[in-house]
Amino acid sequence: MDEQRLESALRQGPPYATTYVPTSLALDERPVVRGPSVGRLVLIIAVTALLLVGLLAGLAALGAFRDDDRRATNGWVSFVAEGDIYLVREGEPARRIIGFDVDGRDQICPAFSPDGGRIAHGEAEGTVDTGYRDAALVISDLDAEGNPSESLRIDVGGTFPPPCALWSADGRRVAFGVPRTSPLNPDRSAAGSEVWVVTLEDQHVDVLSDLLATDLEWSPVGSQLAIASGQTDLVAGQRLRDGSIRLYDADNGEIQTLVGPSGVSTLTWSPDGSRIAYQRGQTRHADGDDQEIWVARVDGSGEYLLASGFSSIHGIGPVWSPTGNQIAYQRSAGSERHWVVLVTPDGESEVVLPHLQLPGTDESAPWFPFRVTWSPDGKELLYTAWSWPAGSEERTALITVPIDQVSDPAVLYEDTNLSVYDGAKGATVPIQSWGRRPDG
């Protein structure tokens, strides 16, 4: 069943309500038979059988409908193009919901709340090239059609880039970095950079000082925020020294080190909140093969190596699937081309996805992902991808890729104005770009 038919079915109601009502139930139109008779008994038995068959068939169809309907849990994909924020869903055209052509502002980093009913984005006057001023984080409520209405504005000010926020699992808080230099290619130390943790109800802000976050992620359970940040000093090549992982508990304000200085750059929580997978290494580019992925238990009881000996230039580090049974990461396959790898959390099984080839397109020009994230139901990956056909300009697109490798991928949006990064130039903190339907 294609997406347009699913949308039509959703609007009409459950399929069994119109499809599986047996016409033989219109008994008032039949002659009335009084007294016991074989004919009437046969009729009653037949009607009862039809009712049961119809009910069972309807329930079976409903179950299949829900299994096949990605929109039961997967909602809009949000993305940035030319400094404005758009929404798109498979089978529907993209539409701009925040910003306009001459507003003089960059609006970036859209992030859906866990329930899909709100969206946060960062904005600031100016551009990354001309310089920023008056940065703010904006929270908007979304109606059933995805139209936003601003409900809260948190001023950051200064010359900071637009903030890129992540929601806590309960939707009560957001966290974002306030960097005084690029986390990716810093020209100064982490001193003066901060992580802000905002409680939305009263707008209270906890400021964590001297942290230049290369990654942030809330635990799926509880109130802990994991922060990947290098030490304060710079080293040759203008990199922060020895990234580590700190855990900040927003309920009691305590902060502790989970993983000591070891070159950590990115991280991801397991869905049950018991483990964190992280990527570390000192040469994050296509020529270095020192990248590793480790899994650490949050209770401090140990860690283990999951993957090693690979290079990486794009990607957002490891990303745990919502179902908990796979971790996706990217590794270089020469130059800027990347493989997407799915590995089980115990490292016992690994699947390397082939380079993405869209049906009916030039086989000499596959699509390679800048970024890869999961759909909310864990059945698909979202590629922010590029391709360069011979004799043509570079192309960029948002593409959904079913992990069963049976269903065809789908292009949600393709245009050269698509922003392939999550935030301002040099930002590395990944932002949730695929939301859960508010009614899912």
- Interval 202-236: pLDDT, tens: 999 999 999 999 999 999 999 999 999 987 787 77
Give domain status of residue 199, yes or no. no
Lowest mean pLDDT among 35-49, 78-92, 99-113: 35-49
| Cα dihedral value 122, 125, 131, 137, nearest 10 | -20
- Token pair, residue 236, equals 């040759």
Walk across the sheet containing 368-374 and list its strands.
368-374, 380-387, 395-402, 410-414
Query: Which of 431, 402, 330, 426 lies closest to 79, judged by CA?
Result: 431
Q: What's the structural domain count of the chain?
A: 1
- Token pair, residue 345, equals 């959390």
Gap between the Cα atoms of 74 and 440, Å rounded: 8
Mean pLDDT of 18-28: 27
For tokens 């799926």, what's the residue? 220
Is residue 347 within 8 A of residue 306, CB to CB? The reply is: yes
Give domain status of residue 53, yes or no. yes
Give domain status of residue 54, yes or no. yes
Query: Which of 236, 190, 235 lies closest to 213, judged by CA?
Result: 190
Give domain status of residue 43, yes or no. yes
Gap between the Cα atoms of 234 and 262, Å rounded: 14
Give domain status of residue 272, yes or no. no
Give domain status of residue 46, yes or no. yes
Give domain status of residue 390, yes or no. no
Q: Is the pLDDT of residue 65 over 60?
A: no
Mean pLDDT of 158-169: 92
Confidence of residue 312 (pLDDT cuts 50, 70, 90): confident
- Token pair, residue 337, equals 């081309």
- What is the extent of the structural domain holding 40? 3-67
- Token pair, residue 217, equals 């992620």
Gap between the Cα atoms of 196 and 192, Å rounded: 12
Q: What is the pLDDT at residue 420?
A: 81
pLDDT in tens, 360-385: 887 888 999 989 999 999 999 999 99
Distant-in-sequence contacts of 35-39, Cβ < 8 A, 24+ apart: none
pLDDT in tens, 178-204: 998 888 778 888 888 999 999 999 999
Give domain status of residue 79, yes or no. no
Mean pLDDT of 10-36: 29
Q: What is the pLDDT at residue 276?
A: 98
